[in-house]
Amino acid sequence: MGNPTPVGQRDDSQMPRYGGLTTYALLPRIEEVPHADVAVLGVPFDSGTSFRPGARFGPAHIRENSRQLHPYHQFLDVYPFNCQQVADAGDVAAGPFDIQRAVAVIEAAARRLVEGGTRIVALGGDHTVALPLMRAAAAAHGPLAVLHFDAHLDTWDMCHGASVWHGSPFRRASEEGILDLNHCQHVGTRGGVYDPSELVDDRKAGFERIDSQEFQDRPIDDIVAQIRRRLGARPVYVSVDIDVLDPAHAPATGTPEVGGLTTRELFGTLRGLSGLNIVGCDIVEVAPAYDHADVTGLAAAHTAWELISLIALGENRASAKGA
């Protein structure tokens, strides 16, 4: 017998999309399906943030703004919820008072899913949560090619005595051997730098940079080609800090930086990356207290949908090769 037909979104002919219990994109809860190929996992933790708090409320906000997502992606020509089982795995119970303990709890929860053959699309939370998520992905797939969309480098070292915080996940991951140092790429960087040595440290951590200004000076197809060359055929982890977008497109974030990408530029870049072997991803730093008209929540919910669609396309290509 083959795999069971995936359970898709709730039938909105019976209950309007604005009603009923909220799961991501009105998908089934993970306990309602025999196996999840992809799990949407909330990580409501923001004790590693260095400026405006509030990303602990991000997962609920993103889910609420995912109600309007539909089953067919017309630009990528894929039904992301029909060709793979996607389910909402709820939230990790990461407490707010001890960063190291919370990171351990997040890693343990992620490992349980990954070891069962599930790929995680995480909803943060601040960017600290990327470290335990990458640890879990690397344990299953080996060193990761990381595609990091962010206004900031996040390869800094200590902050106020903490070695693990939202500005350090990729430095710690590099030190731990989690990253493939020849295949990591920042996109959209533009944030403040205290000293040029930080750029040197960033290169040592394994990253090349495509800053936000390049989206004005180069066509997106050219940027996509550079990203694809850099990532190669490695297992890819995608981390999207919502502050990669300009505050006009995503005001509700902890460390906003002007001069960022538009949602159209972000989605255009992601849609050019079909066929990648995406083994995990996150969307982080949504702090809903600063949102208006749900602008940021909508951008984050749709970003997760784009990533789920890319995972589906990568899996379909792998299946076709094995047939």
Domain residue limits, the chain: 24-322
Say which CATH superfamily domain 24-322 falls into: Ureohydrolase domain (3.40.800.10)
- Computed on alpha carbons and rounded to an integer, the radius of gyration of the chain in Å comes to 18
The whole-number pLDDT of residue 1 equals 38
Taking a C-beta distance cutoff of 8 angstroms, is the pair 78, 279 a contact? no
Element spanning 83, H or E: none
Joined tokens for residue 243: 């502050």
The whole-number pLDDT of residue 245 equals 98
The whole-number pLDDT of residue 317 equals 52
Q: What is the separation, in whole angstroms, between the first and last Cα of the chain? A: 16
Q: Is the pLDDT of residue 185 over 60?
A: yes
Joined tokens for residue 171: 């430095």
Q: Is the pLDDT of residue 8 over 90?
A: yes
